[in-house]
Amino acid sequence: LFLGFAESVSDFDRLEEEHDNILAGADWAFAFQDGSLVKRYAWAMDSCLGTRGHWTDRKKLLDQALTATQNLEDKKGVSSSLLQLGILAQLTGDYAEARRMYQESLKILQELGDKSGLAISLAQLALLEEKEGNLKKALELIKKAESIFLELNSPMAAQARRDRERLEKSQGNSWLGRIFK
C-alpha cells in the first residue's frame, strides 16, 4: 500500500505525511530480503528524501538498495545506488567517500557499456573535482561527459556544455590559469 503510494505521488508534502510509514515498509522489505521491493522503495523516495534534507533516512535507504541490488546481482542497480550514495556523500561534505562511490559506479558502467550512465557519473565526478579545486581534472571529465551526451543526442549535453564553459572561464580567471596559460 505505502509503496504504491510512494510510486504514484509526486507531491513531496503528501509523501512527507506518510514518511514514517513508507520507510517502515522499506525496512520490512529489507528485513524479509525482498530486494526488488527495497529497490522500488529507494527509487520512489530518493528525490523526496534528498529535497527535504532527510540525509540519514536517505543514506539508510540507499544503503539498503545497494545491498539489495548486490544480492540480486543487478549491476545497473548497484551502479545507480553507488552514484546516489556518492551524490549524498558529496552533498554532506564527505568528498573521499563520494569519489570512491563515483569510481565504483564508473567501473560498473564501463563493464556494462552504459554510455548514458557513464556520462552522468563523469559529470558528477567533474563537479566533485571542481568543488575540490581541481579545475583541470574537472574540465577534462566534463568534456568527456559532454562528448558522450552529444553522441547520444541527450538533452543533458546542454548542461554539460554550460558546466564546461563555466569551468573554462574559471580556469582562465584563476591566477594559476593565467600563469600557466
Quick one: average pLDDT of 61-68? Answer: 96
CA distance 81 to 32: 20
- 22: helix, coil or strand? helix
Q: Angle 75-91/95-112 helices, nearest 10 degrees?
A: 160
Give the pLDDT confidence score for residue 171 in this predicted structure: 77
Whose grid coordinates read 556518492? 86
Q: Which cell goes with 28?
A: 520490512
pTM: 0.87
Tens of pLDDT, residue by residue over 164-178, are 999 999 877 654 444
**Is residue 181 over pLDDT 80?**
no
Q: What do you get for the CA distance between the two ends of the chain, in Å? A: 60
For 88, the 3-state DSSP assignment is: helix
Q: How confident is the model at residue 179 (pLDDT cuts 50, 70, 90)?
A: very low
CA–CA separation, 24 vs 18, rounded Å? 10
pLDDT of residue 173: 63
* Residue 88 pLDDT exceeds 50: yes
